[in-house]
Amino acid sequence: MPELPEVETIRKGLNSVIAGKTITGFESRDSKVVRFDPKEIIGMKIESIDRRAKILIIKLTKPNNRRPFGSTQGIGDRAMLCHLKMTGQLIWEAKGEKKKHVLRRKRVAGGHPSESWGEILPCKHTRAIFKFDDGSELFFNDLRRFGYLKLIQNSKHIIENNGDHFVVGLFDDKSIGEIPELAKLGPEIDSSDFNMDYLKSKSKRMPKKKIKTFLMDQEIISGVGNIYSDEALFYAGILPTRLASTLSDLEWEKLIKSTKKAIDLGIQYGGSSEETYVDAFGKQGTMSEYSMVYRKSDQSCKLCGSIIRRAKIGGRSAHFCNNCQK
We find the least distance from the C-beta atom of residue 117 to DNA, in angstroms, to be 11
The reply on whether position 314 binds DNA by CB under 7 A is yes
We find the least distance from the C-beta atom of residue 128 to DNA, in angstroms, to be 15
Nearest to 10 by CA among 61, 49, 52: 49
Mutual angle of helices 196-204 and 249-274, in 10-degree steps? 110
Q: Which of residues 71-100 bind DNA (CB under 7 A)?
A: 83, 85-87
Active site residue 310: no
Is the four-CA dihedral 242, 243, 244, 248 of positive or negative sign? negative
- The answer to whether 313 and 212 have CB atoms below 8 angstroms apart is yes
Among 53, 75, 90, 176, binds DNA (CB under 7 A): 53
Q: What is the dihedral of CA 117, 121, 123, 125, to 10 degrees?
A: 60
The reply on whether position 32 binds DNA by CB under 7 A is yes
We find the least distance from the C-beta atom of residue 226 to DNA, in angstroms, to be 3
> Per-residue DSSP letters for 207-231?
TT-BHHHHHH-TTTSBS--HHHHHH
Scanning 38-46, 68-76, 140-148, 169-177 for contacts with DNA by CB under 7 A, the matching segment is 140-148
Among 67, 68, 106, 146, binds DNA (CB under 7 A): 146
We find the least distance from the C-beta atom of residue 68 to DNA, in angstroms, to be 32
Beta bridge partners of 166: 159
Q: Given 3, 93, 251, 274, which residue is catalytic?
A: 3
Nearer to DNA, 39 or 205 (CB): 205
Is the four-CA dihedral 65, 68, 70, 72 of positive or negative sign? negative
- The answer to whether 77 and 119 have CB atoms below 8 angstroms apart is no
The reply on whether position 316 binds DNA by CB under 7 A is yes
Residue numbers at the binding site for DNA (CB under 7 A): 1-3, 32, 53-54, 83, 85-87, 112-113, 124-125, 143-146, 181, 205-210, 213, 216, 218, 225-227, 314-317
